[in-house]
Copies of this chain bind each other. A is one copy, B any other.
Amino acid sequence: MLLPEPVQRVIEAFSRLPGVGPKTASRLTFHLLRGQSSLAEELAAALGGLHSGTGSCGRCFNITAAGRELCPVCASAERERGLVCVVEEPLDVLALERTGGYQGLYHVLGGALSPIEGVGPDDLRIAELLERVRAGGVQEIIVATNPSMEGDATAMYLQQQLAPLGPRLTRLARGLPMGGDLEYADQGTLLRALAGRQELS
């Protein structure tokens, strides 16, 4: 092998990240090699503290700082406690928080139902969600799983499970994305946008 082993090791580790192929991994590695050692070392130190420095919220399973029982959202006194938004991943919480338009709590499932990948209800935080609802105080649950096959299957399953418990069940609207172009919208999106059309007022 032409490349020294330490270089090879970094390239291989980078290649295991999603969306990073061997060429990108080489480019990133050689970028780090070219510069001063500071960036490589900072990244190494940050990665080393990633798992030890984080945990998951005891209520909503969002990511939180290590040693904290609850995440900042669950711990906040200013959030609407009767409203729970169910999402697949912690990144979805981040996306919703960035909008600044949501004031309720969250519940992070940790994925979506997928028979193909062998993900069943027991692999997600569904039992914990049902428990939260049974404990009372939840008026509305917004199902915000991804608009995908898996996300839709998960939403349907949640509906079956949650309906008998009484809270209002809603889901995020489907339609044309902002800044989107009708001409380039796919068939599914357009059908949903037609079916969900609203009165001009």
Contacts and interface: CB of A to CB of B under 8 A. Distances in A.
A10 B89 CA distance: 18
A28 to B, nearest CB: 5
Nearest to A24: B19
Interface in A22-62: 24, 26-34, 37, 39-54
Interface of A: 2-7, 9-10, 12-14, 16-20, 24, 26-34, 37, 39-54, 63-66, 72-73, 89-91, 93-94, 97
Given A13-B39, A46-B9, A47-B47, A89 B2 contact: no
Contacts of A12: 46
A5 B68 CA distance: 13
A73 B54 CA distance: 45
Copies in the complex: 2
A48 to B, nearest CB: 4
Given A10-B47, A13-B46, A50-B10, A5 B41 contact: no
A195 B7 CA distance: 40
A78 to B, nearest CB: 14
Contact of A72 (B2, B50, B89): B2
Nearest to A26: B91
B28 A18 contact: yes
A51 B41 CA distance: 9
A90 to B, nearest CB: 6
